[in-house]
Structure 1
Amino acid sequence: MSSDLGPGGRPTVTTSTARPEGGGRAAPGDAPAPARQWPIIVVIVGAVAGLVTVATGAFRAGAIVLGAAMLLGGVLRWTVTSVGMLAVRSRFTDVFTYAVLGVAIVLLALMAQPDPVIRIPFLEDIIHFSVR
């Protein structure tokens, strides 16, 4: 058969794999579940607040709140040692992803028509080219 089988023909359990970086808790184990995962809850509450703001008709303000929630997620991932489920991959990958998404959402919100707050010519060209 295969060398991956242990005694009795059962598959062996891998014991040498490193635990995921986000596998730890953000609060002590005796704390209630929401308190242990406060970083992801803060980011989710911010994102939901942004989406609700967009749904009520304030697109630009809601998108900025949503982007700010992503940026806050990056800051929390960078500064807090144990962030629980906010950690997905390595710290660098998580911070980079949160930062790029947050900045992109905020920039696009500020460029939204009508009456854009900022104008970035090459981004306007990309948007006009992709929409046509």
Structure 2
Amino acid sequence: MMVSTVYQTNKKTGVVHAYSSESYRDPVTKKPRTRRTYLGRVDPVTKMIIPKAAPGSRNRTKLSVTQSDELKLPPEISELIAEQTKAISEMREELDLLKAKNREMAVLVKKLNEVSEKMLKVLD
């Protein structure tokens, strides 16, 4: 069995994804097959693989503060990453609030549609 890393670029977004590719021979058909396992995205600046998020978690930041410490980046860049991480988390909170309001509005619109349909039936 041979294992290698394969990089695949999404043509629409330009995002590069990394996969672990394992070649093996299918015992039934006697033909070579490939098994791919998703590893994560590739950071466009550092070219490091950012691991996939654990199931159920929301790991959307491209480079966390701890990763910048591990890379021994200059303090100015680490500060910028920290600021961006804070801004991203604030935007996520705002997005969650907007989504909740959107759900409330959808319920109200549904109720209004039901009432208007009942009124139209009464008028007919």
With normalisation by structure 2, the TM-score equals 0.31
More strand by percentage: 2
More helix by percentage: 1
Structure (1 or 2) with the larger CA radius of gyration: 2
